[in-house]
Amino acid sequence: MSSTLELDRAHVFHSWSAQGNLHPLAVDHAEGVRVWLEDGRELLDFSSQLVNVNIGYSHPKVVAAIQEQAAKLATIAPGHAVRVRGEAAKRIVSHAPEGFNKVFFTNAGADANENAIRMARLFTGRDKILSGYRSYHGNTGAAVVASGDWRRIPNEYARGHVHFYQPYLYRSEFYATSEQEECERALHYLRRTIENEGPSAIAAILLETIPGTAGILVPPAGYLEGVRALADEFGIVLILDEVMAGFGRTGDWFALDGFNVRPDLITFAKGVNSGYVPTGGVIISDPIAHHFDDTVFPGGLTYSGHPLAMAAVVANLDAFESEGVVTNAKTIGDTVIGPRLAGLADKYPGLVGEVRGRGVFWAIELVANADTREPLPAATMATVKSRLLDAGLLPFIADNRIHVVPPCVISAEDAALGIDIIDQVLSTL
């Protein structure tokens, strides 16, 4: 019989990878905040896989809900009404800002952003989409071109996309020396971008509320409010991408709850059902939803609002409520992760350039030179990842950063244990 790795290498084509030299972990099972490999190793998960297993692994209520739904109605076309889909949508909009009452379900975050872009273009009658260079919005036609990182470049087939720099004081594009300067200059730059691209041509501004894969870049006070004001001034739709940051990750139900901003469209996926069954969607403000009361929305997906995914949404969000998952994420961030990472920055001033985040959504930015802020090289980051795994931690490594993104249910003890392991590895560099 072939081993798991032999089967994988023989038949599975992996994403974002050259295929010839891959060595994926062979995972056997997982529970809570821990993953067990086939070779028997146990890993404390500080990745939540792709920052989506917010409720942890094998949550009994979510598993049971999927099983019960599978026995009752395993699948149905999206054109039919089924109670579990309505219940899922009701729970989702209950945590959205006032004036959001409809959800368009998709299969994941990428096609959520894809359809939000489509809605904005149809609603405004305009074409251009403005989005950040420091962003990732998914790997479908428009979503990947809206993304700012390297994955956009070999996939630039979609039309009408323009990028701009968002605030990031540690690596400021605006020669700023304070958060206030960074905010003001970033907003001025965005205004000039809008003016030069032609306001009457711009359908939407698409932003991750807190950019995730790009570095967990918490926007400075006033920035998102300023973007909202520019969108209002020029009649532009504001789309906030909450695919990674939403549903407890930042210690709020949505990351936008931590800012004084109300978008027109909210995209989500990942944490809404902790990835137990793929799903995503767009939460639609009432004016945009009503635009399609008498106008056909030309979009749809075979598995939109799939019953098994919807059952997982309902059980996941109900457990969030009854078990205080969102509050736990905030508490762990405020009392354990934030203070402990600040301690690492003080302990390793020549290695840790900056730590930043909220809730269970943090990044440790590692540098080779504290004065020039030169990023730690890729080869060294590979060593960091290997040593973290050897020490029993499943990390999320992106560029020169360790992202500290455990499940939202992690205990204070496990959060401290994980940071102890990071400390141990940093001490070896």
- Dist CA 154 CA 354 (whole Å): 31
φ, ψ for residue 416, nearest 5 deg? -65, -40
Say what the pTM is. Answer: 0.97
C-alpha distances out from residue 233 to 158, 207, 241, Å: 27, 17, 21
Per-residue pLDDT of the chain (429 residues; tens, 9 = 90+): 889 999 999 999 999 999 998 999 999 999 999 999 999 999 999 999 999 999 999 999 999 999 999 999 999 999 999 999 999 999 999 999 999 999 999 999 999 999 999 999 999 999 999 999 999 999 999 999 999 999 999 999 999 999 999 999 999 999 999 999 999 999 999 999 999 999 999 999 999 999 999 999 999 999 999 999 999 999 999 999 999 999 999 999 999 999 999 999 999 999 999 999 999 999 999 999 999 999 999 999 999 999 999 999 999 999 999 999 999 999 999 999 999 999 999 999 999 999 999 999 999 999 999 999 999 999 999 999 999 999 999 999 999 999 999 999 999 999 999 999 999 999 999
Is the CB of residue 102 less than 8 Å from the CB of residue 263? no
- Give CA–CA dist 362/114, Å, rounded: 27
Task: Check if the beta carbon of residue 275 is closer than 8 Å to that of residue 249.
Answer: no
DSSP for residue 220:
P
Judged by DSSP in three states, 10 sits in helix
Write out the DSSP string of 248-299.
Answer: TTTSSSSGGGGTT---SEEEE-GGGTTTSS--EEEEEEHHHHHHTSSS----
The Cα–Cα gap between 425 and 407 comes to 21
Length of the chain: 429
Residue 265 one-letter amino acid: L
**What is the separation of C-alpha 210 from the centre of its chain, rounded to a whole number of angstroms?**
8
Q: Decide: 242 and 96 in contact? Cβ < 8 Å.
A: no
Rg of the chain taking only CA atoms, in angstroms: 21
In 3D space, the residue among 129, 156, 92, 88 whose CA is nearest the CA of residue 308 turns out to be 88
